[in-house]
Amino acid sequence: MPDTTHDRVKELTRQLETGIQDLFASGRYGEYLSMLSKFHKYSYGNVMLIMMQCPHASMVAGFQTWKKEFDRNVKKGERGIRVQAPCPVRRKLDSGEEKEDTVIPYFKAVTVFDISQTEGKELPAQIITELGGSVEDYDNLFNRLVEYSGLPVTFEPLPEGYKGSFYRGEQRIALALGMSQEPDHQDPGA
């Protein structure tokens, strides 16, 4: 287990990079979009980390949040889900005659738990919701995932039951037509 905050964040980043590569190679793209709909307030990276560590997760919060806000306790022996949380640092930078107050973005590793890892007071039904419809800023998400994969991605007809495929010889990824919304610039017939 990593010892320092820097080591823990570095390990989470390594896991995230591996997860993104596996996402495209395994055809689990649709699962990721489904997970995004459940955790729309989390970053793309943290959603990937949640999916990798707890694929059945539906609602996550920190230990104290479960206790104080929801009157629920984490079950004994449960292992938390590690995600990255921003912790910006303010620094005075010397720029000639005056010092500027600058915020430097840093991240730390924090632990959250899925509702299935807790027990206690029942939650109101309207708290647990899954988004329907489209993913906000889908083009940006799609482009970032393609960038991380380093491979061309196309939407095309695939054999029945396939949601995606990695063509090793051609070093490309194909996603099934209609599996999810397609980026505006993508021509599925191309």
Going from the C-alpha of 101 to that of each of 87, 95, 107, the distances in angstroms are 16, 10, 19
Residue 50 has pLDDT above 80, yes or no: yes
Q: Classify residue 25 by burial, with Cβ atoms within 10 Å: 0-12, 13-18, 19+.
A: middle
Question: Is 127 among the domain residues?
Answer: yes
Question: Is 30 among the domain residues?
Answer: yes
Question: Is 54 among the domain residues?
Answer: yes
Q: Classify residue 68 by burial, with Cβ atoms within 10 Å: 0-12, 13-18, 19+.
A: exposed
The pLDDT assigned to 126 comes to: 53
Of 6, 95, 81, whose CA–CA distance to 51 is shortest?
81
Angstrom distance (rounded) from CA 49 to CA 135: 18
Confidence category of residue 180, pLDDT binned at 50, 70, 90: low
Lowest-confidence range among 15-24, 95-104, 110-119, 127-136? 127-136
The pLDDT assigned to 79 comes to: 95
Contact 25, 145 (CB under 8 A): no
Confidence category of residue 125, pLDDT binned at 50, 70, 90: low
| pTM, two decimal places | 0.55
Residues 41, 139, 147, 106: what is their CA dihedral angle, to the nearest 10 degrees? -30
58: which residues sit within 8 A by CB, 6+ positions away?
A: 38, 114, 115, 116, 128, 130
Residue 112 has pLDDT above 90, yes or no: yes
Residue 75 has pLDDT above 90, yes or no: yes
Question: Is 31 among the domain residues?
Answer: yes
Question: Is 164 among the domain residues?
Answer: no
Question: Is 73 among the domain residues?
Answer: yes
Token pair 């993913």 is at which residue?
A: 135
Percent of the chain whose predicted confidence (pLDDT) is above 90: 22
Residue 167 has pLDDT above 70, yes or no: yes
Of 73, 31, 25, 76, whose CA–CA distance to 52 is shortest?
31
48: which residues sit within 8 A by CB, 6+ positions away?
A: 16, 19, 20, 23, 32
Question: Is 95 among the domain residues?
Answer: yes
Range of the domain at 108: 5-150
Each residue of 56-74: pLDDT tens digit? 898 899 999 999 999 999 9
**In 10 A of CB 66, how many CB atoms?**
23
Tally of domains in the chain: 1
Question: Is 180 among the domain residues?
Answer: no
